[in-house]
Structure 1
Amino acid sequence: MSDARPLVGWYVHHHGAGHVTRFTAVRPHLAARVVVFSSLPAPAGLPADTEWVLLPRDDGPAASRSGDGADLDPRDASPTVRGLLHWAPLHHPGHSARLAAIAGWVGEHRPAAFVVDVSVEVALLVRLLGVPPVVVTQPGDRSDEPHLLAFRAAERVLAPWAPGLHASPALDVAADRVRTVGGISRFAGRPRAVRPTASAGPRVLVLPGGGDGGAGRLADDVARAAAVTPGASWTLLGGEAGAWVDDPWELLSTADVVVTAAGQNSVADLAAAGARAVVVPQGRPFDEQGATSRLLADRGLAVVVDGWPADEAWPALLDRALATTPDWSTWQVEGAPARAAAVVAEVASWQR
């Protein structure tokens, strides 16, 4: 008996952990067979009927075609095609091999849909091969030519924020195909842990990416912040000096203040936990975290600072964060992973 569930391809970008985290949040809600393509290793605990194809990298030096022993730097190989694309370096074997792997699989298996999170080049490739792409977008200024090209090529544009939150005029080119599903958190739907009785000072949780300068510097910054706030207890997750916790939900949902960057997954996790927060946006392409942090400040959802604060600023910052009453319902995290899966299922169900 043939399997009636659709076959779906899924591209997961290798920058940071956010794209793979989003995939693992959405995947359990999608009734499909899924094959993932990524340069990242497969995460633990993949659901059944999920295959992970490891792609070669195309962002490092490679042997030059000249045969002179010199390495080819992809940054010097016309990667943007004079502004048409984001990353398509000439004569890079990793770039050729990764696109060939996707094209070969598409040609052999003819998937019903292909989720692209995120790559303009992969979105265009699968559409040229006759497969409808579901393109995941992100906050910030996406009005450049490559993004507009991907939005036009997309069968659906999946926006992981709630309707009315992010003003994104670039999406007007696909207005009838944009689906805003709410903030996607891996913790959506989980009951919050009970906060202990406040017998001591506030509990401050610092998430990876909450500061700039690397894990070692962040650990030093947190230690100094703790020294000037003797009534508070500070916990740093991740990094070389931080505690590694496979499931940080209890820590996140019982913290009195969370210090984090303004990445999509981090903010969605704040919303799922109903957390009070100090948000330290990091520099990202297209002003992604800047746009999100401005929205958080405008809506009164978090205390936003421009860069890691000076040591002496922390007592007042914690007081400000503790005084906030954020209404995270506006982020619409409940049901967002299922709504995202429904967008993919809708595209995958189209047959002619």
Structure 2
Amino acid sequence: MIGYYVHHHGVGHLTRARSVARALAEPVTVLSSRPRPSDIAPFAGWITLPLDTPDDGEAPDDPTAHGVVHWAPASVRGMTDRMAALARFVDDHRPRCVVVDVSVEVAMFVRLMGVRVVVFAMPGERTDAPHQLAYRVADRIVAPWSASVYRPEWLREFEDRTVYAGSISAHADRARAGTDRDPTSVVVLAGAGGSVLTPEYLARAGAATPTRTWRGVGVPGTPWVDDVWPLLTDAGVVVTHGGQNAVADVAASGAPAVVVAESRPHGEQLATTRALGAAGLAISLESWPDPDRWPEILERAGALSGDIRARTEVDGAARRAAAAIEDVWA
């Protein structure tokens, strides 16, 4: 049995966990504060953890434990119940390891229970004491990106335990839906973790590029799309936020890409966006531009020549992450 902690913010951590779990031979039980989905496949089990927030909007008491961790408020019932649920899981199942994506506190807690820990790294500036603590105790660190594209200096201290798995996409094994791209189609991916994009912005971008057709996916106020893969493989250009799963999916499709950094803690998306731009794999923007700039930006995207799928190492990435996990007890 493998325990797999999935952070509840956004949908990317869960999507990545599904891809990795499918590549693992051992059964996987999810540990998360996310609501249990109706279909938990490919997981063997799902344990819903209590939220670790104070009741009634009260201010948290010493939430960082004097700067040692990111979030461990004292005298919060949910925090105590959360850790008790983790302890029961470890006691009941004696997992081979627990994969943590991502939480410094969960990584530390299960390691102190004598369980091996695999930690997923995140892009951005992770030199703060809590992140460094999690990486120090990890038996293995999985960086879900290509080392040839992004190799942060702060991770080099732990290179002997780090596996650069490549960008993990849920669509890595899917074929293209069509044969030719529509050069007039622009698909825009907004992040489930929060975005400043609006339908009004897309309308203004469309007005600035009258020969193009813009379609927003995940933008508040736009229709829901269950399967974005046909859109990605058909689009002449894909404009995406800099989240890891979105970037991986766009890379898997091979579409000419414009990557825009949304505001995230520790500069997560900014680091990814800059790395892709520096590698010549995407047009990188550090904020959403004035709509009048889009004609020039789209022209530059269409001229990109780098093989984004090959350089981000999408093919086999989930399996390499699974192998890094399995190597912990081999």
TM-score (norm 2): 0.94
Alignment of 1:165-176 (within 5 A): 165-176=149-160
State yes or no: 1:209 paired with 2:202: no
**3-state secondary structure, aligned to 1:124:** helix
User: Cα RMSD (Å) of the superposition?
Assistant: 1.9
> Which letter maps to 1:163?
A
State yes or no: 1:148 paired with 2:132: yes
User: Which string of whole-angstrom CA distances, capped at 9 and with x for unpartnered residues, describes residues 223-245 of structure 1?
Assistant: 11112211111111124422212
Confirm or deny: 8 A CA contact 1:62 1:73 kept in the other structure: no
In the alignment, what sits opposite 2:225? 245
Q: How far apart, in 1, do the equivalents of 2:12 and 2:220 lie?
A: 19
Confirm or deny: 8 A CA contact 1:160 1:182 kept in the other structure: yes
Alignment of 1:297-312 (within 5 A): 297-312=277-292
In the alignment, what sits opposite 2:163? 179
**3-state secondary structure, aligned to 2:198:** helix
User: Which string of whole-angstrom CA distances, capped at 9 and with x for unpartnered residues, describes residues 227-272 of structure 1?
Assistant: 2211111111124422212111111111111111111111111110
Q: CA deviation at 1:171?
A: 2.3
- Pick from 42, 59, 69: which aligns with 1:73? 59
In the alignment, what sits opposite 2:112? 128
User: Which string of whole-angstrom CA distances, capped at 9 and with x for unpartnered residues, describes residues 185-210 of structure 1?
Assistant: 11112112224475xx5100011239
TM-score (norm 1): 0.88
Q: How far apart, in 1, do the equivalents of 2:85 and 2:98 lie?
A: 14
In the alignment, what sits opposite 2:255? 275
**3-state secondary structure, aligned to 2:86:** helix
Q: How far apart, in 2, do the equivalents of 1:240 and 1:197 lie?
A: 26
> Which letter maps to 2:252?
A
State yes or no: 1:94 paired with 2:94: no
In the alignment, what sits opposite 2:24? 30
Q: CA deviation at 1:211?
A: 11
Q: 1:273 to 1:337 in 2, by over 3 A?
A: same
> Which letter maps to 2:18?
T
Q: 1:258 to 1:211 in 2, by over 3 A?
A: farther
Confirm or deny: 8 A CA contact 1:268 1:333 kept in the other structure: yes
Confirm or deny: 8 A CA contact 1:211 1:260 kept in the other structure: no
Confirm or deny: 8 A CA contact 2:19 2:318 kept in the other structure: yes
In the alignment, what sits opposite 2:323? 342
Q: 1:204 to 1:48 in 2, by over 3 A?
A: closer
Q: Which runs of 4+ in 1 moved over 4 A?
A: 195-198, 210-214
Q: How far apart, in 1, do the equivalents of 2:195 and 2:312 lie?
A: 29
- Which ranges in structure 1 are unaligned for 5 or more consecutive residues? 1-6, 64-70
- Pick from 305, 315, 321: which aligns with 2:301? 321
Q: 1:284 to 1:335 in 2, by over 3 A?
A: same
Q: CA deviation at 1:212?
A: 7.3
Q: 1:311 to 1:239 in 2, by over 3 A?
A: closer
Confirm or deny: 8 A CA contact 1:257 1:276 kept in the other structure: yes
Q: How far apart, in 2, do the equivalents of 1:291 and 1:239 lie?
A: 23
Q: How far apart, in 2, do the equivalents of 1:210 and 1:223 lie?
A: 21
Q: CA deviation at 1:96?
A: 1.3
Confirm or deny: 8 A CA contact 1:207 1:237 kept in the other structure: yes
In the alignment, what sits opposite 1:62? 55
Q: How far apart, in 1, do the equivalents of 2:211 and 2:119 lie?
A: 46
Question: Highest CA radius of gyration, 1 or 2?
Answer: 1
Segment drifting more, 99-108 vs 36-45: 36-45
- Pick from 95, 116, 139: which aligns with 1:111? 95
In the alignment, what sits opposite 2:177? 193
- Pick from 3, 12, 16: which aligns with 1:9? 3
Q: How far apart, in 1, do the equivalents of 2:237 and 2:218 lie?
A: 17
Q: How far apart, in 1, do the equivalents of 2:71 and 2:255 lie?
A: 37
**3-state secondary structure, aligned to 1:256:** strand
Q: Give the number of equivalent residue pairs.
A: 329
Q: CA deviation at 1:44?
A: 5.0
> Which letter maps to 1:119?
S
Q: How far apart, in 2, do the equivalents of 1:213 and 1:132 lie?
A: 36
Q: CA deviation at 1:49?
A: 5.3
Confirm or deny: 8 A CA contact 1:85 1:121 kept in the other structure: yes
Confirm or deny: 8 A CA contact 1:107 1:129 kept in the other structure: no
In the alignment, what sits opposite 1:284? 264
